[in-house]
Amino acid sequence: MNDATILKNPKTRKLLFSAGFSWLFDAMDVGIISFIVTALSLEWKLSPQDVGILTSMNSVGMVFGAACAGYLADRFGRKKVLLWTLLIFSIASGLSALASSFWVLCLLRFIAGIGLGGELPVASTLVSESMPANQRGRAVVLLESFWAGGWLVAALISYFLIPAYGWQIAFVIGALPALYALYLRRAIDDSPLYQSGKSMARASFASKLGSIWTRKHSRTTLMLWILWFTVVFSYYGMFLWLPSVMTMKGFSLIKSFEYVLIMTLAQLPGYFTAAYFIEKFGRKFVMITYLILTAASAAWFGSAESAGMLMAAGICLSFFNLGAWGGLYAYTPELYPTSVRSTGVGLATSVGRIGGVIAPFLVGYMVQNHIHINTIFMMFFAIICIGALGVLFLGTETKGKELAD
């Protein structure tokens, strides 16, 4: 089955685009903050450590949001929790435009993070459960490709609007997904697998947590927690700092936004190639190959000095890192049975978000202590390689298999 086959079916096309636009808004909100902190650091005289704290607050909220939403989606349904998470992050984003101090903005970004962290695993589980086995991996990677669209929108807003109207306008636009939730309420249904397994959804959180660490699932859970931590740590450490790193390398605010916008465009072909390879060669092939090439790109970007080398390395970094993300979201829901699937996905995502908390703060600390950018990116090289090795030795292939029920 190819991408065109998925899009020809009206039901799967509607679900993919409906969930995809919620994913796009999520990415837009995460992406905007990376540009806003670059402008805020000039306006509010923020130190690198302040920037690290602010960018980490989103991820702190995501840790709680992913864990709670995963369990709640197993209990009350994927659709309901998807709508609530969408409302939480869009309202908190809109209120962020009114923040008058650093700590008020941090609090609002924490609340937005709860919604952001909850929406992603629930949306991927909903799409994964609603697709036939021979289309499932490709459909979830295509869902993930909307993330690149969200970052592209964030980059466009930041490039054209923030310099002219200030950082507040970006947060105001971030409130628009609240209106989209009204459409989504009527546009999508819960997955057939969840509907048929409602009777299994009443188990307590403790029992579901214990179930993903039974002998049957412990190897999978360990692999996923390592994988999610390393991928999220490297992504948020590198990409939330990308505009700031460009300014540190001597480029103006406008020029750094322009370069990051171009790098962001490379995310889309990264997703689309991963969507093709994931059904042709399998999940493990895509994860290991794209992670190793991401690690190589990180080492290259850290050592690059000229504008041309930085652009080339940044484009490769975007291409392979986001292709790996697409594979990650396709792979994770396939490894658990329906009764604990959303809980398992949510907890793996939550562990990953801990990496997203640590990385931006750690980079801020390292920059403030004058540690060279090359050294920082070599750290990301090593972390990403650990994730690839985890998949190689602990992962199982799920290509073409029906979801366990």
Question: Tell me, what DSSP letter sits at residue 28?
Answer: H
On whether residue 405 sits in a domain, the answer given is: no
User: In terms of C-beta density within 10 A (0-12 exposed, 13-18 middle, 19 or more buried), how is residue 314 classed?
Assistant: buried
Q: Which residues contact 32 (CB under 8 A, 6 or more apart)?
A: 154, 157, 158, 170, 171, 173, 174
Residue 191 in any domain: the answer is: no
Q: In the prediction, which pLDDT does 199 show?
A: 46
Q: Is residue 199 part of a domain?
A: no
> Domain count of the chain?
1
Q: What is the pLDDT along the chain (405 residues), one digit of tens a residue?
A: 455 566 667 778 888 888 899 889 988 988 888 788 888 888 898 888 888 788 788 888 989 998 899 889 888 888 999 999 999 999 999 999 999 899 999 999 999 999 988 998 888 888 888 888 788 888 888 888 888 788 888 888 888 898 888 899 999 998 988 888 878 878 888 878 777 665 455 667 788 888 899 988 999 999 999 999 999 999 888 887 777 777 777 777 667 777 777 887 888 899 889 988 998 999 999 999 999 999 999 999 989 888 888 889 999 999 999 899 989 988 999 999 888 888 899 899 999 989 988 888 888 888 888 898 899 999 999 999 999 999 999 999 998 887 766
Rounded Cα–Cα distance for residues 291 and 219 (Å)? 20
Give dist(CA 114, CA 346) in Å, integer: 12
Spacing of C-alpha 204 from chain mean position: 27
* Contact (Cβ atoms closer than 8 angstroms) between residue 356 and residue 83: no
In angstroms, the CA 347 to CA 353 distance is 10
In a domain, 4, yes or no: no
Tell me if 194 is assigned to some domain: no
pLDDT for res 288: 97
What's the rounded Cα separation, in Å, for the pair 240 and 43? 18
Q: What pLDDT is recorded for position 377?
A: 94
What's this model's pTM, rounded to 2 decimal places?
0.80
* Residue 320 CB neighbour total at 10 angstroms: 26
Containing domain of residue 343, as a range? 10-186+205-394
Residue 156 falls inside a structural domain: yes
What integer pLDDT is reported at residue 147 of this predicted model? 83
Residue 20 maps to a domain: yes
pLDDT at 112: 94
Which CATH number belongs to the domain containing residue 70 in this structure? 1.20.1250.20
Give the largest CA-CA distance in the chain: 60
Burial tier of 402 (Cβ tally within 10 Å: 0-12, 13-18, 19+): exposed
**CA distance linking residue 388 with residue 330, whole number of Å:** 16
Token pair of 79 as six digits: 């659709």
Is 196 within a domain? no
Rounded to an integer, what distance in angstroms lies between the CA atom of residue 371 and that of residue 366? 5
> Using the 8-state DSSP alphabet, how is residue 402 labeled?
P
Question: Which residues have a Cβ under 8 Å from the Cβ of 126 and sit 6 or more positions away?
Answer: 15, 19, 78, 79, 82, 188, 190, 191
